[in-house]
Structure formats: structure tokens, C-alpha cells
Amino acid sequence: MSSSGIYQVAYYTMMMNLYNAMAVRIQRRWRGYRVRKYLFNYYYLKEYLRVVSETNDAIRCRRKKIASHGNQRKALEEFAEMKEREEKKANLEREEKKRDYQARKMHYLLSTKQIPGIYNSPFRKEPDPWELQLQKAKPLTHQRPKVKQKYSTSLTDWLACTSARSFPRSEILPPINRKKCQGPFRDITEVLEQRYKPLEPTLRVAEPIDELKLAREDLRRKEWLRNVNDNMFLPFSSYHKNEKYIPSMHLSSKYSPISHKEQFRSEDPKKWICDKDFQTVLPSFELFSKYGKLYSKAGQIV
């Protein structure tokens, strides 16, 4: 019926007007508070001006003193005094903070009603000042150990098949009660496990072949970083003179120590295919790399 519609509209308008009027009242109060507290705080301004005029007076009478003494050294001394005072204050504050921290750590040493603490011995006339400090201190809570993210660089980082391009991983987890797709599909968790299975490289692949040489290079590089000057210290002063050592007649004989290579192997460089000698490297055990991986699901014992 249209008449009840009109009443409803009128009622609605009246209520909205009421709400708006109330909102204006609330906003008025809030705005006044905000302006007085943050935008223009009259008492803060008065306080600031008072402090400024006090500083001005201090400067003026100090300078009058200086002018009457007529000596710049006074200014130096006054300035030094002021600096000293400020430093002492800062030191005192630091000490205070340290003591407070210690009191917080030793809070459990406070005496209880039954048992007097170590600072409140019954044989003393009055308790140690530490006792009062402990009473004032708040107990210190354990800091939860921060979990450090370890940056592990593994082979998986450079293998293409687990890169984000081929298997995009989103940061949010899939919803918990996802409806199962209809059809003869495998369990989704199994599929994801298989898809994102981490790489298990063999022992031979996992370590680089010339690992020892690389480690030596690394060490040499690190040492080189520390050097101020690249010219190495020479063992004695005429080292740079490349004079071949001419041994004396007595010392130069055929009976000199021979290198191990000559001792054990006979080399013929003409027969070498490439210029470089063999690398001394031990092969890995093939047997061990196949351990646990024959006829089985990955990672499980046969």
C-alpha cells in the first residue's frame, strides 16, 4: 500500500537525520581533540616559549659575565664545563640503565616472605641497596631464539626441471577442503610429492672433481683480499736478482734428492696426447651411489 510506503520513507528520513546529527556531535568532539592535541597544542607552545626565553636569559647573563671578564678563555672554560656536565649526565644514565638490566636478570634473587634473599641477610642492620633495586625491577622474559634462515645452495637451485618457470609454485597453500576432481585421478598429495621431489644426486656428481684445487684458490683469494700491497715480502734483500745459485764444488754432486714422480713413474712427454698431466683424483664408488635405489620408490629401503 502506498501510504505505508510514504510512512516508511518518512521514518527512514527522520532516522537518517537523527544519525547525521549525532555523527556531527561525535565528529565535533573528535576534531576538537585532534586539533588541540596534534595540530596546535596551546600549552605545548607556551611551554616551548618559556624554555626558549630561559635559554635566552642563560645565554645573556653568561655572555654578560664573559663581557665583563673580557676574556675569551672564560668562554672556553664555560663551554668545556657545560660539555663535561652533559657527558657526566650521559654516563650516569648509562650506568643506571646497566644496573636496571642486571637487576632484571637477577630478579629471582629477591627475598620471599619465608626465606631472606642473599642481599637481605638477617645479620645485617638493613638490606643491601641491591635488594631495593631488585624489588623495583620487572622480571626479564626469555627472548625467543630468532630462527635464522639458512641459505642453502644446493644442486636443486640450478637444475632446470625444478625452476619456477616449469613448475610454478604459489606462495599461498591450496585450500584445505578442495573438492576432489571427478575421475580416475591419483591422490593430489601423491602427485605433488612426486612432482616436487627434491633432487638426490650421486656422490660423484655432488662434489666437484677438483674440489681441493678450488678450495685452495678460494683460500688464496681470501688472503689476497687482506693484503694491503700486492708485492710480496721477499725473504731476503737481494731476492729479486734472479741469479742462479752456483753451488760450490763440494755441494754439487750427483747424489741429490730426486722427486717422487721420478722415483715411481717414468714419464715420456712425447707420448702425451694433450699437454697436461693426469689429475690426481680418486674415482667414487659406483656401488655406493646405487645404494637403496634399485627397484624401489625413491628414498625408501629396498
Binding site for other proteins (CB under 8 A): 45, 48-49, 51-53, 55-60, 63, 66-67, 70, 72-73, 75-76, 79
Which residue is listed with cell 650421486?
A: 202
Tell me the closest approach of the beta carbon of residue 89 to other proteins, in angstroms.
17
Q: Which is nearer to other proteins, 52 or 203 (CB)?
A: 52
Give Dmax (Cα) for the chain.
136
Which has the closest alpha carbon to 76: 58, 91, 61, 62?
Answer: 62
Tell me the closest approach of the beta carbon of residue 88 to other proteins, in angstroms.
18
Tell me the closest approach of the beta carbon of residue 75 to other proteins, in angstroms.
4
Q: Which is nearer to other proteins, 65 or 290 (CB)?
A: 65
Q: How far is CA 176 from CA 185, 187, 193, in A?
A: 18, 14, 16
Q: Are 286 and 277 in contact (CB under 8 A)?
A: no
Q: Which is nearer to other proteins, 89 or 124 (CB)?
A: 89
Tell me the closest approach of the beta carbon of residue 28 to other proteins, in angstroms.
24
Which has the closest alpha carbon to 195: 170, 152, 161?
Answer: 161
Q: Which is nearer to other proteins, 63 or 213 (CB)?
A: 63
Q: Which is nearer to other proteins, 50 or 94 (CB)?
A: 50
Tell me the closest approach of the beta carbon of residue 221 to other proteins, in angstroms.
32
Taking CA 119 as the corner, what is the angle to CA 118 and CA 123, rounded to the nearest 5 degrees?
A: 85
Measured distance CA(44)–CA(51) in Å, rounded: 11
